Amino acid sequence: MDLQIAAVLLPLLGWAVHGSVLAHRLASARRDPLTGLHTRAGWTARAEHCIRRHPTAAVLLIDLDHFKTLNDTHGHAAGDAALAATADRLRTWCGRHGTAGRLGGDEFVAVVQDLTAANLDVLTAALNRPLHHSGRSLPLAASVGVCRVTELPVPLLTDALAAADAAMYAAKGRGRRGSRLSH
């Protein structure tokens, strides 16, 4: 009888281990390895859920200003530190009422349940605070575009991202280091 139990349990144990490894790989694929933020796929699923459940949701698109210059002047380690610091500041601002992600390069996204409660000025100040790296204070700045989902004819994430992108470029056009709501 013990041999029969072992014959049944060993394959089940193998499948359990295999399933665990696959689940870990899937979770890793949905997280950016440098920042720990959700990748586009992981963030998109959460953002769509937030938009469906919270009519006062807002979508933000964040782009670091002068990132290439920072990276080229102070090195890739400083650039990585800037990306990680931006991710930490964005994650902290979102808290339990939103989700942050990294699209790639120096572009980040966020969705929050209610922009008024989240306080956009606090985020803008955090993203524009200098970064302390290797004993130096490095300038860190970001342009933020925001779209309140209530401003859209139909609350679709793709439309909210497009509006936030346009608002972000308008913020860059104003001299950077700021935020702008879509209109």
For residue 79, the tally of other CB atoms under 10 A from its CB is: 21
DSSP calls for 148-180? EGGGSSS--HHHHHHHHHHHHHHHHHTTSSEEE
Residues of the chain with pLDDT under 70: 1, 6-29, 174-183
Position 27 scores a pLDDT of 44
- Of the CA atoms within 13 Å of residue 159, those in its CB half-sphere come to 11
Measured over the CA atoms of residue 88, residue 89, residue 90 and residue 93, the dihedral's sign is positive
Position 2 scores a pLDDT of 77
Contact 128, 176 (CB under 8 A): no
Residue positions annotated with a catalytic role: 106
pTM of the predicted protein model: 0.80
What the block records as the tokens of 140 is: 């860190």
Position 60 scores a pLDDT of 98
Position 17 scores a pLDDT of 54
Report d(CA 140, CA 29) in Å as an integer.
Answer: 28
Position 3 scores a pLDDT of 73
